[in-house]
Every structure is written in C-alpha cells, then in structure tokens.
Structure 1
Amino acid sequence: MTVAEERGYAKGRAKRVEIIDRATALFGEGGYRGTSLREIAARCGISHSGLLHHFPTKQALLTAVLEHRDEQDVERFFPPAVRGVDQLRRVVALAAHNESRRGIVDLYAVLSAEATVADHPAHDYFVRRYRSTLAAMTDAYEQARAQGALRDGVEPTIAARKLIAVMDGLQLQWLLDGGATPMTEVVRQHLQEQLTVPL
C-alpha cells in the first residue's frame, strides 16, 4: 500500500467513526425509525451519497453503531482474563461509565424497546446480545461460586437474569429522572448482597 493509499484509508476510517458517533447521537434522540440517513449525512457535513459510500443502508449503519458500542465496552471492561468476582466488579464500573454517557444509554433504551418487534432491523441483534450477556453473567456468577465468593442460595442463571433486569431498569429510571437515580450505587449494593467478599 502506498503512502497516499494509507492516508486515504485512515481518512476513510476516521469518517466512518465520525458517522457512527453522529448516528449514535441521532438514533438516541429520535429512535431508529425517526432518524433519516439524510439527517445523519447533514450532521456529518457530507452528502447523502457520501454517507452511502460508507454505509450502503440504514440497517448497516445501525448494526455498526451497536457493534461499535459493544466492542468498546468489552475491550474496556470485560477482557477475556477478567472472570468471576472481578467480572462482577467490572459491571459496577460499567454502570459508572454509563452515567457519563447519556446519549448511549438513550440509544440503548430506545432501540431495545423498539426492537422487541420481530421485523425491527435490530431485533436479531438484541436477541443475540441478551443471550450472550446472559451467558457471560451466568459464567461470572458460576466462577464467583467456584471462588467461594457467592452466597448460599444464589443460583447463577437466575442471578444473571436479575442483574440484567436491574441494569436495564435502572437505566430507564435514570433517563426519566434526569440522572438522579444512583445507578452505580444500586448495582453495587445489588451485587454485594449476593457475594461474601467486598466488591
């Protein structure tokens, strides 16, 4: 690859990231169905055809937005070596991080609700995401039990489902009350009640 090609590639990647960031904000504000590609293109300062060069369909852009968020969160909070109690500690850290990014929390809340309809473009994504999140959290609880850190009577799969429900429910409350809900502290207390070791 020539220097010019490398520059072009880097410029193209930077523009893709910018489009994803702008689309994240707009999807969070107006939902998937209420946001047009033309609106996103205008916010990015490019033409509609310029946007289609990077993302040929609105669904492709939505998928990129959702995957980008997940990749960032996994890389930052849940690398493969983090398991058991440490993984549950990282859930608390993720809740704290979410308190600093209302746009992403908005997007997730809006799209996850919209995507309960089977024909929504993000339906399959959210079905897969909940399955993988449930599996990951169940594994975390199972590892915590193997570490001797899980209280008697806490069943990993049920605990994982409860944790996901707590996280999603808290995010909705936090959005509705203007950030007054102490998400991080409630998640921390919820988890601490299930563990025999301090978080």
Structure 2
Amino acid sequence: MTQTKRGPYKNGIVRRRQILDKAVEVFGTYGYLAGSLRQIAAEVGVTPAALARHFDSKEDLLVEVLRYWENDNAHRTAGAEPTGVAALRDLTDLMEYHLRHRGFLQLFLTLGVEATNPDHPARQFIVERYASTREGFAKRIQDAIDAGELMPLPPEQVQSEARLLIAALDGFELQWLLDPDFDLVSEVDRFIEATIRRLEGTPRLPVDK
C-alpha cells in the first residue's frame, strides 16, 4: 500500500496559506503601510527570513493576498448567477459572505482609503476593482430594465445608480466593522428592496413604528 507523503512541498503550501491568512488580518487591521512583515512573521510563528522564502517582498505579499482574495470570492460566485431583479437581491447574500470573511472586507476597505495615494502598490488593483464592481452593478440594473422589471433609465442614470449601490454597501459594511451589533444583512436587504421599489416606480411603503 502506497502512503502519500506530506513532505516539504505540502508543508510549504500549508505555511504559505497561514502567512496569507495572517497577512489579511494584519493589513486589514493596520493597513498595508503600517502592517509589517516582521509582525506577520511573528504572528505566524516563523522568522522574517522564513517568511522571505515564500514572498520576495512586502509588495509581493500584498499582490498574493489580493489574488488570494479574488480567488476566494470567485468560488462564491461560481455556478449559475441570478438575473434581473434577483441579481440585485443577491447583493444581500454577498453581505452574508462578508460576515464569514471579516478580514477580507476590512482589508479591502482599508486599502480603498490607502490607495487614494497614487503611489500605493494596490492603487491599480483597487481602481480596477471599483470600476469592475460599478460595471457589474450597472449590468444588473440594466438587465432588470431589459427584462421589464424596472422602469427604463438613461445610461448615465444606470451608472449613477450603480455608484450609489457601491457607496451604500461600503457605508453599511463600515458601520458593521465599527459596531458588531449592527445588522448588516437586514440593513442591506431593506436598502436593496427600497431601491428596487424606487426603480420600479412603486411608491415607498411607510415605515413601521
């Protein structure tokens, strides 16, 4: 019977994953600029020299963290995606994902602020990420319009609505990071439903007191 060997290669993959997980926490908590490789190495339980065997530099580690996050997020969206208004309601499920991946969310919002500096190493990634998110949200809205579920809107208003969605979701997520008692999923669900009613042309329902 042949026994599978763990070996240095398997151990190296595990260690690399540990470093990435801890880097998400450190960069998310302190930012890329303040978070240090020495701190990450200490929290993983390795020396800075051992960490350097996996990542050539701090910038290289950041690139791999962002790639790691993108791959993880891709698994969430794998499979058949909802269309029309259902695709807008799917944004509530995205909040459920964030509840389980606080570190990734904290990292993204922290880098979003830091990357306003044109020289930040994550600048291009963040700019492209916001652009692709805006286009993705605009497509969800336009698809719902094309399906006859929302009232027709000019292209510039579709883009404006997409930007509003980004601003609202980032704001809700930030409030949750600051206040663990903030009900992120419920608040986003209410906002999405109100947005759908508004874009349907349906009068806003009174708030229960």
- TM-score bracket relative to the smaller structure: 0.7 to 0.9
For normalisation by structure 2, the TM-score amounts to 0.81
Counterpart secondary structure, 1:14: helix
Deviation readout 1:10-37 (Å, 9 max, x if unpaired): 3222211111001111112211111111
The answer for the alignment partner of 1:148 in structure 2 is 148
TM-score by length of 1: 0.85
Q: Match for 1:131: what amino acid?
A: A
Q: Structure 2: give runs of 5+ residues left out of the alignment.
A: 201-209
Q: Hey, what's the Cα distance between the residues in 2 that align with 1:135 and 1:42?
A: 40
Aligned to 1:50: 50
- Paired residue secondary structure (2:43): helix
Cα distance change, pair 75–86 in 1 and its aligned pair in 2 (3 A): farther
Q: How large is the RMSD of aligned CA atoms in angstroms?
A: 2.3
Aligned to 2:190: 189
Partner of 1:29: 29
Kept in 2, the 8 Å contact 1:149–1:195? The answer is no
Q: After superposition, give the CA deviation of every residue in 1:34-86 in whole Å (9 maximum; x if it has no partner).
A: 1111111111122212111111111111122122222212321x236314334
Asked whether 1:81 is paired with 2:80, we answer yes
Structure 2 letter corresponding to 1:81: A
In structure 1, stretches of 5+ residues that fail to align are: none
* 1:180 alignment partner, SS class: coil
Larger Rg: 1 or 2?
2
Aligned length: 192
Greater Cα offset, 153-162 or 41-50: 153-162
Deviations 1:171-199 (A, max 9, x none): 222223x22332222222222233369xx
Identity %: 33
Amino acid at match of 2:170: D
C-alpha displacement at 1:7, in angstroms?
4.2
Alignment partner of 1:170 is 2:169? no
